[in-house]
Amino acid sequence: MNSTVVTFPDGHVTGRSEIVGVVPVGARHGLVVAETPFHPLDHTWPDQPADLGTLGGLPVVDCVTGAWAEQEGLRLGPDIPVRRGADGWEWLVVHVTETPLPVGETVDLVVDAGHRAALSAGHTACHLAALALNAALAGHWRKEAARDGLGHPDFDQAAITSSRITPDGSVDVYRLGKSLRKKGFPGDDLDLDRVAADANERLAAWVAAGAPVRIDVPGRWLTARRTWHCALPEGEVSIPCGGTHVARTSELGSVTVALSREDATLTMRTTVTR
Ligand SMILES: [Zn+2]
């Protein structure tokens, strides 16, 4: 099996392709095609959930990343022993179904477009929220730090431990504490209501601006190093990203964040109201 060609970075939700492999996934079946519009959960940074939909008329109940190497065989999701895109492996989109279909059959692939649109909105909002949080926290840094595309210290990159996209939202978890304090962010005098209000003001302006969003796609394979670009009024920003997005920030309607803190863990919940 060769690495799967993916069309979701261009916004596709339908396709037609040949089944090139069928593998067991527990008691279910993993169908691999040559080219797919389905976005699978990534195994290295599992932020955007799998697309749902149908393959050859069968419900796709899950969609996971697979990696195949001559000596190692096929590994799925968390069992993949190497990082995303590692050389020597073929990178596969594995569509999970309850019933198998034969290799060689050509099938229609149809992604649940409503679910995808909600995840795309959640993902774009997640990136914007991270940039707005960086800006709102800029005055709290005591040392020089790596900066984001808008020139603010990149709190998001320095402190994030997990990011989960949901339909029309996201939940980002940050680790405050010792290692961040050493980097120059003490974080003990944070007024979370003020920080959230500041971030929300920026987010409202960015949504109102209708800023264009695009994905730079350097290759057709699943693990090509794609980049999210957004032309905000303050300047164009880019973030490495394997997911799907809206085409304009105005499609988001409104984006708001809420912050909460428990000991050294800061959680940002982002909500889109389209
Ligand atoms: Zn992303």
Cα of 183 to ligand 1 centre, how many Å?
A: 24
- Model's pTM, two decimal places? 0.97
Cα of 40 to ligand 1 centre, how many Å?
A: 14
Cα of 265 to ligand 1 centre, how many Å?
A: 21
Residues facing residue 237 across a β-bridge: 230
Cα of 99 to ligand 1 centre, how many Å?
A: 32
Cα of 225 to ligand 1 centre, how many Å?
A: 12
Cα of 245 to ligand 1 centre, how many Å?
A: 8
Cα of 115 to ligand 1 centre, how many Å?
A: 17
Four-residue CA torsion sign, 214, 17, 35, 114: positive
Distances (CA, A) of 70 to 2, 74, 85, 94: 11, 9, 16, 18
Cα of 70 to ligand 1 centre, how many Å?
A: 31
What's the pLDDT score for residue 189?
Answer: 84
Burial of 149 (0-12, 13-18, 19+ CB in 10 A): middle
Label each residue of 143-169 as H, E or C. CCCCECCCCCECHHHHHEEEEEEECCE
Contact status, residue 143 vs residue 184, Cβ threshold 8 Å: yes
Cα of 252 to ligand 1 centre, how many Å?
A: 16
Cα of 122 to ligand 1 centre, how many Å?
A: 10
Q: Which residues contact 252 (CB under 8 A, 6 or more apart)?
A: 121, 124, 125, 128, 207, 246, 272, 274
What's the pLDDT score for residue 61?
Answer: 97
What's the pLDDT score for residue 270?
Answer: 98
Cα of 242 to ligand 1 centre, how many Å?
A: 6
pLDDT tens digits in sequence order for the chain, 274 residues long: 899 999 999 999 999 999 999 999 999 999 999 999 999 999 999 999 999 999 999 999 999 999 999 999 999 999 999 999 999 999 999 999 999 999 999 999 999 999 999 999 999 999 999 999 999 999 999 999 999 999 999 999 999 999 999 999 999 999 999 999 999 999 988 999 999 999 999 999 999 999 999 999 999 999 999 999 999 999 999 999 999 999 999 999 999 999 999 999 999 999 999 9
Cα of 120 to ligand 1 centre, how many Å?
A: 10
Cα of 186 to ligand 1 centre, how many Å?
A: 27
Cα of 126 to ligand 1 centre, how many Å?
A: 8
What's the pLDDT score for residue 264?
Answer: 93
What's the pLDDT score for residue 1?
Answer: 86
What's the pLDDT score for residue 188?
Answer: 85
What's the pLDDT score for residue 250?
Answer: 98
What's the pLDDT score for residue 50?
Answer: 98
Cα of 123 to ligand 1 centre, how many Å?
A: 6
